[in-house]
Amino acid sequence: LQYNSFEDPRCEGYLEDGRTGMSPSTLKRAFLNNLFYVQGKFKALATPNDYYMALAYAIRDRLLQRWINTAAIYTAQGSRTVAYFSAEFLMGPHLGNNLINLDIYKDVEKGIAEMGLNLGELLEQEEEPGLGNGGLGRLAACYLDSLATLEIPSLGYGIRYEFGIFDQEIEDGWQVEITDKWLRFGNPWEIARPEWAVEVKLGGHTDHYVDDHGRYRIRWVPDQQVTGIPYDTPILGCQTNTANTLRLWTAEAPESFNFNAFNSGDYLGAVYEKVVSENISKVLYPNDDSSQGKKLRLTQQYFFVSCSLQDMIRILVGQELPLEKFHEKFAVQLNDTHPAIAVAELMRLLIDMHHMSWDSAWSITQRTFAYTNHTLLPEALERWPVELFGSLLPRHLEIIYELNDRFLDEVRIKFPEDDSRLSRMSLIDESGERYVRMAHLACVGSHAINGVAALHTELLKQDVLYDFYQMYPGKFQNKTNGVTPRRFMVLSNPALTELVTSKIGDTWIKNLGELQKLEAWADNPEFQQQWRQIKQANKQELAAYIQKHNGIIVDPNSIFDILAKRFHEYKRQYLDLLHIVTLYNRIKANPDIEITPRTFIFGGKAAPGYFMAKLIIKLINSVADVINRDPDVRGRLKVVFLKNYNVKLAQRIYPAADLSEQISTAGKEASGTGNMKFALNGALTIGTLDGANVEIREEVGAENFFLFGLTAEQVYAKRASGYNPMEYYNSNAELRLALDRIASGFFSHGDTELFKPLVDSLLHHDQYFLLADYQSYIDCQEQVGLAYRDQDRWTHMSILNAARMGKFSSDRSIQDYCREIWKVEPVTITLENSEVTDS
Ligand code: GPW
């Protein structure tokens, strides 16, 4: 009996149909079964979470059939597989997305409603797995969605942090961090696979010895060992049967380890070891675009990389493939340098554990890895003090020294008599305290190196990785980021999805370039009106959310001007604030001034140790308190800080935005991806020529994009010629007034000390050129206000923005990676001719 095909009439009436069938009545029955048998509840006692769980398990059953078929077919075919190594996967809630990708959202919504429940409320119950900080982790999640949708055999490998990114509370205007307990009520989407646990060594020293065959060998004698347990989550593609795997590792104490301490009566010592081991996967480091250099962080990185590579070797061996074919079976993508230790670890596994020669191991290693760089910020480039590194990974340090010797010989041959180049390129920074440079390790150990937007890749080649570009020009490629339209349009903006589909059919969902067909409707009055009505309704929904959570009433007819991303000085939330204070000052000077009403909405978390970022959050809330209450403003300006910006909240925000703030200092934001999500939902962008903004503007047309500010080149020139922010302060009356207001204590109950660090940093350093860009930004915002007054023109621009987002689908990005880096082909998963049988 083939039990896996729900369409097979032979399955009718079998229990399995209840777990795979997709008809509304079967789904309903499955839901009630789970409420009864899994949650152990009936209606009178069931909580909303019980209902969510019952539905989640019903949907998981539908995924499992596809998941098992996918695994069976990949195994039978020995398919070439992408392994995406990332310290972060910011997945967002699974249930809604799985309903979309299974294409049963509407059926389920209806069935749930027939039982007197509301699907939206059940979806709200899901605690999102916040296993990432921001753009980098969310990109990994979008890429998994596209890999599955494009039917590419792939695995995501990472860490199952017990505590993901903290929950943000606001108290007295300040950010307060609350631990995220996402696993509190259990996680219906994962399956533990303890049978595939692996051991990871840490610390100790190395032994050099001669083996029985007289061969010189090296043995790592660790002083600690931990066990990695994999937890698997199915990643379903959109309208395919492909369900790939996200495999996240949890650290546990090995059962046998420290048995001696236990036997000798040192019970507490033995338990302590266990706690230390479990700490490894305990918590996500909450820093975005900066590196802390903490030993636990390096341990996390090594832990998941070692687990993953050992797992891949197990898979290879299980398919009876020789280790020499590792790079043919797997293409490994390093998501920034966080997993770059993989270069040394694969070398160690091949040489020490599997007795391969150095040269063979190195050839396999280089052909396996490719490296994506996500930042130009110097503080984000990872380097580890050599001593710290050697105390945790003594064998890897030896391997890196050996790699470095060989690599520097190569450099010497290509660039003779150039000692400064050797020290610039060395894997070890020896300019002061010695450091291991992880980006250099990643560059040397990979066959491809890519940036995440055209400008970013150019700047990598000209600046941060200039020497490596000269050494290996052929390794460098650009792969502009993309976002999944399934989560960030179909799921989050159902009304717009329906309107678009009613005009151009629904194939755009998997082929976003087709949105271009909307251009034909851009000036159609009826279509324009429908487009506007949907935006208006989305704004009303966000307004209700704001009223509920912030107690602020906002006007849905005002411009929803939104800046939502992590807080960082280079992202320049503070510049947005200077615009707000400027408008406010104008109103105070002339209460009858004509101003296009605006609602300024901010969202985002600051790293807990980032003082300036936290102070900017406090300033936003302080300015909000004054402006929202000042009767002179007459409601024309409102300022809202939405707490705890995460994937769930982002899904509410993008559909309601009129204006997307993408205002980083040119040359600092590698790509940005929020910029794409806003535009896809019909927001217009005000932005600098930074990251992917450049390409977004190219696609939507300069006339549909609000550009301001210095170019990256101009920023460099200004810095080189000695930038003096005080000149701008002295010569610009409005700017001076805005800064003076903040400094004077006007927004801080007379306290002139509170915001002094912010004002002083602008006047005396202004590392990110806010003052240089201030006037250009203010002028550009003036144009925004005028454009909004002409609603037909604005709607026309809004439609064209969405219509021209085709390039920014993560499907396009992934297709480019597949063709140009991974050399991997789709594998179609059928449910009919499955390998999985019950007989
Ligand atoms: F520093 N990004 C991020 F490069 O979100 F590693 N966290 C990070 O730690 C780093 C980069 C890192 C972001 C970039 O800031 C953003 O511009 C880019 O769009 C995103 O990664 C995805 O590529």
Q: What is the DSSP string of 132-177?
A: S-SHHHHHHHHHHHHHHHTT--EEEEEE--SB-SPEEEEETTEEEE
The model's pLDDT over 547-567, given as tens digits with 9 standing for 90+, comes to: 999 999 999 999 999 999 999
> By percentage, how much of the chain surpasses pLDDT 90?
91
**And the tokens for 34?**
């789970």
Work out the average pLDDT over 763-790. 98
Instruction: Answer whether 709's CB lies under 8 Å from 779's CB.
Output: no
Q: Is the CB of 235 under 6 A from ligand 1?
A: no
Q: What helix, strand, coil percent values describe the chain, rounded to 5?
A: 55, 15, 30
Instruction: Answer whether 372's CB lies under 8 Å from 334's CB.
Output: yes
| C-alpha span between 460 and 457 (Å, rounded) | 5
Q: Whose CA is nearest to atom 3 of ligand 1?
A: 136
The candidate with the shortest Cα–Cα distance to 389, out of 111, 642, 650, 202, is 202
What is the whole-number distance in angstroms between the Cα of residue 140 and the centre of ligand 1? 11
**And the tokens for 105?**
């959202």
The candidate with the shortest Cα–Cα distance to 131, out of 300, 312, 377, is 300
Residue to mutate (ligand 1; options 338, 371, 375; most atoms within 8 A of CB): 375
**And the tokens for 744?**
């004077």
pLDDT of residue 6: 37
Work out the average pLDDT over 73-100. 98
Work out the average pLDDT over 397-412. 98
pLDDT of residue 15: 44
Residue 406's SS3 state is: helix
Residue 465's SS3 state is: coil
- List, in sequence order, every beta strand (DSSP E) within 342-417: 369-372, 383-385
* Bridge partners, 478 (sequence order): 451
pLDDT of residue 273: 79
The model's pLDDT over 316-331, given as tens digits with 9 standing for 90+, comes to: 999 999 999 999 999 9
How many other C-beta atoms can be found within 10 angstroms of the C-beta atom of residue 780?
19
Q: Is the CB of 339 under 6 A from ligand 1?
A: no
Q: Whose CA is nearest to atom 12 of ligand 1?
A: 289
Residue 209's SS3 state is: strand
Work out the average pLDDT over 815-827. 98
Q: Is 431 left (phi over 0), alpha (psi -120 to 50) or beta?
A: alpha
pLDDT at residue 3 tops 50? no
Alpha-carbon dihedral 188, 190, 196, 202, rounded to 10 degrees? -110
Of the residues 566, 579, 614, 741, only one is catalytic, namely: 566
pLDDT of residue 258: 58
Could you tell me where in the chain the CATH 3.40.50.2000 domains are found?
81-93+128-479, 486-806
The candidate with the shortest Cα–Cα distance to 79, out of 147, 139, 142, is 147
Instruction: Answer whether 431's CB lies under 8 Å from 333's CB.
Output: no
| C-alpha span between 70 and 244 (Å, rounded) | 7
Residue 624's SS3 state is: helix
pLDDT at residue 310 tops 70? yes
Residue 747's SS3 state is: coil
| C-alpha span between 709 and 775 (Å, rounded) | 9
Instruction: Answer whether 73's CB lies under 8 Å from 834's CB.
Output: yes
The model's pLDDT over 661-680, given as tens digits with 9 standing for 90+, comes to: 999 999 999 999 999 999 99
pLDDT at residue 5 tops 80? no
The separation between CA 276 and the C-alpha centre of its own chain, rounded to angstroms, equals 28
Is 201 considered catalytic here?
A: no
**And the tokens for 670?**
């590698």
Work out the average pLDDT over 592-599. 98
Opening angle at CA 641, ends 638 and 646, nearest 5: 140
Which atom of ligand 1 is the closest one to the Cα of 691?
17
Q: Whose CA is nearest to atom 1 of ligand 1?
A: 289
pLDDT at residue 579 tops 80? yes
Least confident window among 115-119, 166-170, 263-267: 263-267
The model's pLDDT over 29-79, given as tens digits with 9 standing for 90+, comes to: 999 999 999 999 988 899 999 999 999 999 999 999 999 999 999 999 999
| Beta strand 637-642 pairing with 598-603 | parallel
The set of residues, in sequence order, having a beta carbon less than 8 Å from that of 367 and lying 6+ positions away, is: 327, 447
pLDDT at residue 839 tops 90? no
Q: Is the CB of 139 under 6 A from ligand 1?
A: yes
Q: CA separation (Å) from 130 to 186, 339, 556, 644, 722?
A: 15, 19, 30, 11, 42
Opening angle at CA 167, ends 162 and 169, nearest 5: 155
pLDDT of residue 260: 62
Q: CA separation (Å) from 91 to 11, 411, 645?
A: 34, 41, 14
pLDDT at residue 13 tops 90? no
What is the whole-number distance in angstroms between the Cα of residue 238 and the centre of ligand 1? 26
Instruction: Choose which CATH entry (1.10.260.40, 3.40.630.30, 3.40.50.2000, 3.40.50.10440) describes domain 81-93+128-479.
Output: 3.40.50.2000
**And the tokens for 370?**
């490719």
The residue type at 716: Y
Using 50, 70 and 90 to split pLDDT, how confident is the model at 10?
A: very low
What is the whole-number distance in angstroms between the Cα of residue 181 and the centre of ligand 1? 25
Using 50, 70 and 90 to split pLDDT, how confident is the model at 263?
A: low
pLDDT of residue 632: 98
pLDDT of residue 838: 36
Q: Is the CB of 687 under 6 A from ligand 1?
A: no
**And the tokens for 81?**
């597989």
Q: Is the CB of 669 under 6 A from ligand 1?
A: yes
| C-alpha span between 672 and 674 (Å, rounded) | 6
Is 565 considered catalytic here?
A: yes
Residue 124's SS3 state is: helix
Exposed, middle or buried by CB within 10 Å (0-12, 13-18, 19+), for 352?
Answer: middle
What is the whole-number distance in angstroms between the Cα of residue 138 and the centre of ligand 1? 10
Is 457 considered catalytic here?
A: no
Alpha-carbon dihedral 686, 652, 546, 799, rounded to 10 degrees? 40
* Bridge partners, 163 (sequence order): 283
The residue among 587 and 263 whose pLDDT is bigger is 587
Least confident window among 426-430, 459-463, 466-470, 828-832: 828-832
The candidate with the shortest Cα–Cα distance to 832, out of 50, 2, 79, is 2
Place of tokens 């990109």: 139
Q: Which H or E run contains 335?
A: strand 330-335
Q: Is the CB of 691 under 6 A from ligand 1?
A: yes
The model's pLDDT over 182-230, given as tens digits with 9 standing for 90+, comes to: 999 999 999 999 999 999 999 999 999 998 888 888 999 999 999 999 9
Opening angle at CA 738, ends 736 and 744, nearest 5: 95
pLDDT at residue 2 tops 60? no
| C-alpha span between 396 and 378 (Å, rounded) | 24
Task: Compute the mean pLDDT over every residue in the chain, rounded to the nearest whole number.
Answer: 95
Q: Tell which CATH architecture fits domain 486-806.
A: 3-Layer(aba) Sandwich (3.40)
The model's pLDDT over 702-760, given as tens digits with 9 standing for 90+, comes to: 999 999 999 999 999 999 999 999 999 999 999 999 999 999 999 999 999 999 999 99
| C-alpha span between 493 and 497 (Å, rounded) | 6
**And the tokens for 515?**
């949105």
What is the whole-number distance in angstroms between the Cα of residue 673 and the centre of ligand 1? 10
Place of tokens 């411009």: 559
**And the tokens for 142?**
């979008």
What is the whole-number distance in angstroms between the Cα of residue 288 and the centre of ligand 1? 7
Q: Is the dihedral of CA 186, 190, 193, 196 positive or negative?
A: negative
| C-alpha span between 713 and 704 (Å, rounded) | 24
pLDDT of residue 836: 43
* Bridge partners, 601 (sequence order): 562, 640
| C-alpha span between 465 and 476 (Å, rounded) | 10
* Bridge partners, 697 (sequence order): none
Using 50, 70 and 90 to split pLDDT, how confident is the model at 831?
A: confident
| C-alpha span between 61 and 54 (Å, rounded) | 11
Q: Is the dihedral of CA 710, 713, 714, 718 positive or negative?
A: positive
Is 507 considered catalytic here?
A: no
The residue among 778 and 4 whose pLDDT is bigger is 778
pLDDT of residue 7: 41
**And the tokens for 440?**
């250099």
The model's pLDDT over 462-507, given as tens digits with 9 standing for 90+, comes to: 999 999 999 999 999 999 999 999 999 999 999 999 999 999 999 9
The residue type at 563: L
Is 566 considered catalytic here?
A: yes
Tell me the backbone φ, ψ of residue 746, rounded to 5 degrees. Answer: -60, -40
The set of residues, in sequence order, having a beta carbon less than 8 Å from that of 273 and lying 6+ positions away, is: 224, 253, 257, 258, 261
Least confident window among 5-14, 193-202, 362-371: 5-14
The candidate with the shortest Cα–Cα distance to 236, out of 116, 105, 144, is 144
pLDDT at residue 163 tops 70? yes
Is 665 considered catalytic here?
A: no
